[in-house]
Structures are given as C-alpha cells and as structure tokens.
Structure 1
Amino acid sequence: MESAPNCAICNAPAYPECPCEAERLQIAVKQAEHRAMEPRLAEIRDWVIAHSRQHILNAFHNLSSTRKQAHYAYLSRLPNYSIYMQFSGHPPIHPTYLHQLQVQIAEAHADLKRGIDADWKASVLRYPEVLDYFYSLIELRIPSDSSPRVSEPPFAIAGYADQGYDHSRLGNEVKKKKKRRDREGSAPAYVDDQMITVAGRALRHPPPVPTPPIQPGGYSRPPGYSF
C-alpha cells in the first residue's frame, strides 16, 4: 500500500488531511499574483484612468460649450443688451429698463452656473460606464498548454520532469560525485562487507564500539569514581 507523504509544513500525517499546505498555497498564490500582476495592473490602471478622464473632460466641454452658446444667444436677444455691453454696464437708458435688464442678466448667469454644474455632475457620473469600456479594451491572453514554455519551463529542464521526479538524474549525479571523490582520494574505491549503498552512494558502517576491559574482581573504574 502506497503511503502518502506527511504535511510538508507541520509534518502531520496525511490522514486526516492537514489544512497547512492549502493555506500556505493560498498565501503563495497571492504573493505570486502580487509580484507578477501588480506592475502590469498599475500600468493598465494608469492607461484606463488617463483615457477615461480625457473622455469625461471632452464630454463636459461639449455639453458646457453648447450651454454657453445658448446662454449668449439668450442674452443677445434681451432688449438694450447690446448698448448695455457697449457702455460696459452703464448705458444711457432709463433706470427702470436698466434695472430690469440687470435682473435678467443675473438670472441668466445663475442659470448658466447651475447648468454647468449639472453638466459636470452628469459627466462625472458616467465614470463607471467609461471605465468599464476602456478596461474591456485590454486583452489578456493565457498561453496554450502545448506551448513549450508551458510544458518545458526552465525549472523543469534544469532538474525535474513534469511526470515525476527523475531518479536516474540523481543516480548520474551521485556517480559523477563518486568518481570525483575517487580521483581526489577522499573516498574508498571499493566496497566490502562494512560498506552499504544508499541511493547509489557507498557509505561505510561506523566502527564497532570497543568493550571496556574487565579486570579481575569487577569492572574497571576511573580513579576517584564510585557508585
């Protein structure tokens, strides 16, 4: 029966399933997303905001320009307005007509201000729609699973295969290291009954522990030692 490995985080048994690895995976995913996506998201965000703001400003400019044209057209139709402007607000007309004209001009300016505020509010309130539109223009592409960059990433080529751990690669590395040690004279070139092999590498058993000599009359004790 194949045994499942213990938890890589806390070394708890595989059953029941330990939540440590799943929790650490979520943390690692968030950290990887931050490293990989945050610079790109910042670039995308700046691009979307710049184009959205420019569109909102253009829309407001169009609305306010139309409103200002209607405002000036209305003023030009008021009685005595042309002479009022000609004399810089002090025309030679009856005070009653002058007061009436000033009231109409003030009301028209107040209407223009309220209209411009409304145009700006209407333009700004379109930000969600405009932002959604420009974000929709961004193209995100996931590479194909058959792409060599997916099936053969650099770390796979460097030391493991996606089908599982390649033990033959470990054996080759061990043989190379053994040959190098043999050339340097730091390891024996033979295997006898005191040698064992682990993962392709020869290891010598530790030497047996010598038994203390027994003197006549009992155990040998160091000077000054007593039970």
Structure 2
Amino acid sequence: MDAAPNCAICNAPAYPECPCESERLQIAVRQAETRAMDSRLAEIRDWVISHARKHILNAFERLTSTRKQAHAAYLASLPNYSIYMQYSGHPPLHPFLLGQLQAQISEAHAELKRGIDADWRASVVRYPEVLDYFYSLVEVRLPSDRAQGVSQPPFAVSGYVDKGYELSTTTKEKKKSRRDRDASSPPERDRRSRRESTKEDHSYTVVGRTRIPPMVPTPPIQPGNMRR
C-alpha cells in the first residue's frame, strides 16, 4: 500500500510528482513575504535612501565649496577686478582693458559652471556604492532553531498536532450541530406566537377550517316573566 498522500490541490497521485503543491507553495511564500516584509522593507528603504542622499549632497557641497573658493581667488587675482567690482561692472577703464577683463570673468564663470556640473555628476554616480554601504549596516537576524518560538510555535502542540485545524473542525461541527438543532425545532418566536394565539382563541371552536363562536347559554326565565 502506498502511504504517500495525493496532491492536496488536484488530488492527483503522488507519483509522478504533481507540480500543483510546489506552485501553490511559491504563491503562498510570496504572499507571506508581502505581509511580513513589505512594511519593514519600506522602512529600511526610506532609511537607506535618506542617509545616502544626505551623504551625496554633503560630498557635493564640499566639492563645490572648494571650487567656488578657487574661482573667487582667481577673479581677485585678475588685473582691475577690484575696480570693476567697485563700479558694479562699469569701471572707468579703457575699452580694450574692460573688454579683456570681461572676457576673463565670463570664461571663469563658464569654467565654474562646468566644474559644478562635473562635481554633481561625480557625486551622483557614487549612489550604488553609497546605497550598498548603508544597506550593509542594516542587520537582519534569524532566530535560533532552539528558540522556543521556533521549536514550539503557538499553532502547534507536542507532536505537531495542529491546534488550529482541530479548533476549526470543532467549531464547524458545533455550528453544524446548532444549525441542525435550530432547523429541527421551531423558532422561539413561532412557538410564542402559537401560544399567544391559543390564549386569544380559547373562546372559539374550530369546525373544519372555520372558527365559529361558542354557543351562548340561554338565560333562565323567571316565572313572572312568562306570558300567559
């Protein structure tokens, strides 16, 4: 006798192996992961992104701060730059000197913009490395196999008899027994209605399906009232 159980999904024989249970298990695992891990993964993801973005922005600020300082030092070294700034870009200089100075300033600004773009690009491309680092700081701990919660889960007792199955079966049997009992006995309201009807109709006699009033007794006739 083959003691291997049939497929729990389609009831096919155990051999050859039926794929139903494996497929349903994969679905159940994905659903359990969604229920158990989605909120935790969202919390971890938000934490990692927040710290990674903060690090990238800080690194970019350090790079641009150094670049802006170098840019300011270069402009200050240009001939006639101080007088140019003193007169808000309209100094009393020879047009040739003014044009040369303006060209140098414009080229310095363009170089600063190219440098800032390069600094931002260099910072952003480090996101994979930075994300990996902060994800590595997150600790995921599996419980020991000897832990009580693992060896004695709340839904099982000694011998791994499933209490949940027993309770559900008992509950179903109780509900079925109660339904059968309720169906075999008339509802209390019907019984009460019949009792009340019986009390109200005690003065009537039923003939066939028609209720007729009872015979009223003839009052006694006094001798003095009799006609002669």
What TM-score does the superposition give when structure 1 sets the normalisation length? 0.70
Distance change (3 Å), C-alpha of 1:87 and 1:143? same
> Within 2, Cα distance between the matches of 1:45 and 1:161?
41
Q: How does 1:1-227 map to 2 (within 5 A)?
A: 1-157=1-157, 161-162=159-160
Gaps of 5+ in 2: 175-228
Paired residue total: 169
AA at the equivalent of 1:20: C
> Within 2, Cα distance between the matches of 1:146 and 1:18?
33
**Aligned partner of residue 154 in structure 1, secondary structure:** coil
Gaps of 5+ in 1: 178-227
* 4+ aligned runs moved over 6 Å, structure 1: none
User: CA offset at residue 17 of structure 1?
Assistant: 1.0
Rg bigger for which structure? Answer: 2
User: CA offset at residue 161 of structure 1?
Assistant: 3.1
Instruction: State the Cα RMSD in Å.
Output: 2.2
- Deviation sequence 1:148-204 (CA, Å, 0-9, x none): 0001111014xx633x679xx99xx8xxx9xxxxxxxxxxxxxxxxxxxxxxxxxxx
> Within 1, Cα distance between the matches of 2:92 and 2:162?
101
- Deviation sequence 1:3-51 (CA, Å, 0-9, x none): 2111100011111111100110010001101110110000000000000
**Aligned partner of residue 7 in structure 1, secondary structure:** coil
What TM-score does the superposition give when structure 2 sets the normalisation length? 0.70
- Structure-2 residue corresponding to 1:220: none
User: CA offset at residue 2 of structure 1?
Assistant: 4.6
- Deviation sequence 1:76-112 (CA, Å, 0-9, x none): 0000000000000011111100000000000000000
- Deviation sequence 1:133-155 (CA, Å, 0-9, x none): 00000000000000000011110
Distance change (3 Å), C-alpha of 1:99 and 1:6? same
**Aligned partner of residue 156 in structure 2, secondary structure:** helix
Distance change (3 Å), C-alpha of 1:9 and 1:120? same
**Aligned partner of residue 156 in structure 1, secondary structure:** coil
> Within 2, Cα distance between the matches of 1:155 and 1:165?
6
AA at the equivalent of 2:126: R
> Within 1, Cα distance between the matches of 2:162 and 2:40?
34
AA at the equivalent of 2:156: A
> Within 2, Cα distance between the matches of 1:26 and 1:131?
29
AA at the equivalent of 2:131: L
> Within 2, Cα distance between the matches of 1:165 and 1:42?
33
**Aligned partner of residue 144 in structure 2, secondary structure:** coil
User: Is this contact kept in 1: 2:60–2:123, CA < 8 A?
Assistant: yes
- Structure-2 residue corresponding to 1:201: none
AA at the equivalent of 2:137: L
- Structure-1 residue corresponding to 2:202: none
User: Is this contact kept in 1: 2:64–2:119, CA < 8 A?
Assistant: yes
Greater helix proportion: 2
